[in-house]
Amino acid sequence: MNDRALSVVRAGALTTVQDLGRPGHAHLGVPRAGALDEPAHRLANRLVGNPESAATLETTLTGCAVRVRTATTVAVTGAPCPVTVDGRPAPWGAPVRVPAGAVLDAGPATHGVRCHLAFAGGIDAAEVLGSRATDLLSGLGPEPLTDGAVLPLGAPYAPSAGADAVPHPGPVAELLLPFLPGPRDDWFTDAGLRTLATGRFRVSPASNRIGLRTAGPALERARHGELPSEGMPLGALQVPPDGLPVLFLHDHPTTGGYPVVGVVPERHLARAAQAAPGTPVRFLRMR
């Protein structure tokens, strides 16, 4: 039995293994995948002495709990949540030494959506196309966590660097999404484009790692046919027949036939990953 491992006590609503993803394979139909809140992923790894590319656990809303088989250092970042070790309070956003056999529990997010749990040595799942990331669309990478599953841990890289202060993200009261127009904004009427710029949208509960779906007014189309399938970049604002924009996130399809009215630059996507259902959304055309 490998002592450098953890077992899942509580898998939570959706917990996956994530790293920096597998970019460069869109021509094969393989999404990038990887951590949705990449700054939180990178920070968690730094706190435990890992390279930023090491695999972490990404939780969704309800957190997760794991039992470590060997003493290790863990850090929880991203959405703030209560952290305990064998029921005793432990700090969020700081390195925590967890004894062998103890249960680390990252509870439900107090605000935001996704937490990242980094373990010294990283999650040592098998690599697929150079990445350990779970891809919900293609099915590549480890399966989402289930109760009782066992995941191997790698050998520690270096002592924890620690931190004097860790960013504490406040609630996303309003999600502002700047976007570059096109390439298919000409498929929408002037009224439809005004709706995108001024409409009252909210994050839909149907959102997931593939895309952030919106609820609100429909964008009026100028053309009603469908496009031949074409490439879809990360951050694309695709508009399906219901007229409600969908922001493509890391597990998005690499091609699609619905028009893309704009593209949100990648630097804004981590905030989108932490916007809970019901959060107001405002789109801002970049000049």
pLDDT tens digits along 239-248? 999 999 999 9
**17-42: b (≥16 Cβ within 10 Å) or e:** bbbbbbeebbeeebbbbbbbbbbbbb
All CATH 2.40.100.10 domain ranges of the chain, comma separated, are 175-285
Tell me if 47 sits within 8 A of 118, measured CB to CB.
Answer: yes
pLDDT greater than 90 at residue 32: yes
Query: What's the average model confidence in pLDDT over 61-82?
Result: 97
pLDDT greater than 60 at residue 1: no
Tens digit of each residue's pLDDT (9 = 90 or more) over 152-187: 999 999 887 766 667 666 778 999 999 999 999 999
Q: Find the radius of gyration of the CA atoms of the chain.
A: 20
Q: Give which of 155, 76, 107, 82 is closest to 9, Cα–Cα.
A: 107
Query: What's the average model confidence in pLDDT over 222-231?
Result: 89
Query: What's the average model confidence in pLDDT over 47-52?
Result: 95
Query: What's the average model confidence in pLDDT over 79-88?
Result: 97
What fold characterizes domain 175-285?
Answer: Cyclophilin (2.40.100)
Q: Give which of 169, 174, 181, 173 is closest to 264, Cα–Cα.
A: 181
pLDDT tier, 39 (very low <50, low <70, confident <90, very high otherwise): very high
pLDDT greater than 70 at residue 272: yes
pLDDT greater than 70 at residue 268: yes
Mention every residue, 6+ apart, whose C-beta is less than 8 A from residue 267: none
Can you give the pTM of this predicted structure? 0.95
Beta bridge partners of 5: 152
Tens digit of each residue's pLDDT (9 = 90 or more) over 50-59: 999 999 999 9
What are φ and ψ of residue 132, in 5° steps?
A: -100, 10
pLDDT greater than 60 at residue 276: yes
- Residue 133's pLDDT is what? 98
Query: Which amino acid appears at position 166 of this protein?
Result: V
Cα–Cα dist 160/73, whole Å: 8
pLDDT above 70: percentage of residues in the chain: 97
End-to-end Cα separation, the chain, in angstroms? 58
Q: Which residues in the chain belong to E strands, given as ranges?
A: 5-10, 16-18, 56-58, 64-68, 72-78, 83-85, 88-90, 96-98, 103-106, 115-119, 150-152, 175-181, 201-203, 211-215, 230-231, 236-238, 246-248, 255-256, 260-263, 280-285
